[in-house]
Amino acid sequence: MDINTKYEKLKQYLSDLKTVAIAFSSGVDSTFLLKTAKDTLGENVIAITVNSCLFPKREINEAIDFCKQNKIKHYIIEMDETDIEKFKHNPSNRCYICKKELFTKIKQIAEENGIRNIIEGSNIDDESDYRPGMQAIKELDIKSPLRYANLTKEEIRELSKRLNLKTAQKPSFACLASRFVYGDTITEEKLNMIDKAEQLLLDLKFTQVRVRLHGLMARIEVKPEEFERLIQPKIKATIIKNFNEYGFEYVTIDLNGYQTGSMNKTLK
């Protein structure tokens, strides 16, 4: 199935739903899905974004700006996942616990607006990684239109480019809890350390970054082609100085480079 056929399949699927509430993170996938839903359904779309310590403020602000620019009714859910006892201890099904809580809240807002269909932005590539949150999505009857249309991440980027979306080349992002080793307690202090560290790397113009937390050690993941720049004396000194101020005692580079879900390697 070619990309144009997939896109038409997506629009038809959304049209059949008639009204939707979308879990909107301002990432590549959910932005493309929201834009397509808005173009297809007009006023019969609302967006719902979570504001929590698991997501940088820049992501929340981008979500707010996009909805304002596109005249989309937008709700913000305030959430502190570190208050959820099971979640903060970071078990291997952490994502399931979080998604169950989040989408339960989203369903409540959707029902208050008379909307029965809740959609989210996972794509067909997500099925190749460990994603326990998918189980919560299934249990709560949340729909995944991008997976239904068999759209890959690269195809979503290409279609986003056609729609003139700024997110077409936006780096992939996952919630900050994915930077922790499973079993390591998630705290707001540690999340802030990671957030500041990744923001520094982005400010230094690294394109795709992760800062994984191992005790008080930061393991930096960037694209291999950016390794040489990472260790340039001035940049290296800036990173070490700031990371130490954020609370990291040791700063390392992962020679594998950026990898999605690299913490999942520890799971059997």
Which residues of the chain form CATH 3.40.50.620?
Answer: 3-169
Provide CB contacts within 8 A for 143, sequence distance 6+. Answer: 17, 117, 118, 119, 120
pLDDT tens digits, 165-224: 999 999 988 899 999 999 999 999 999 999 999 999 999 999 999 999 999 999 999 999
Q: What local confidence, expressed as pLDDT, does residue 267 receive?
A: 67
* Mean per-residue pLDDT over the chain, rounded: 93
Which residues of the chain form CATH 3.30.70?
Answer: 176-266
- Do the strands 217-221 and 210-214 form a parallel or antiparallel pair, or are they unpaired? antiparallel
pLDDT tens digits, 214-246: 999 999 999 999 999 999 999 999 999 999 999
Does residue 102 sit in helix, strand or coil?
helix
| 3-169: CATH number | 3.40.50.620
Q: For residue 131, what are its two tokens?
A: 């994603």
Whether 204 and 235 have beta carbons less than 8 Å apart is answered as: yes
| 176-266: CATH number | 3.30.70
- Asked if residue 263 has pLDDT above 80, the reply is no
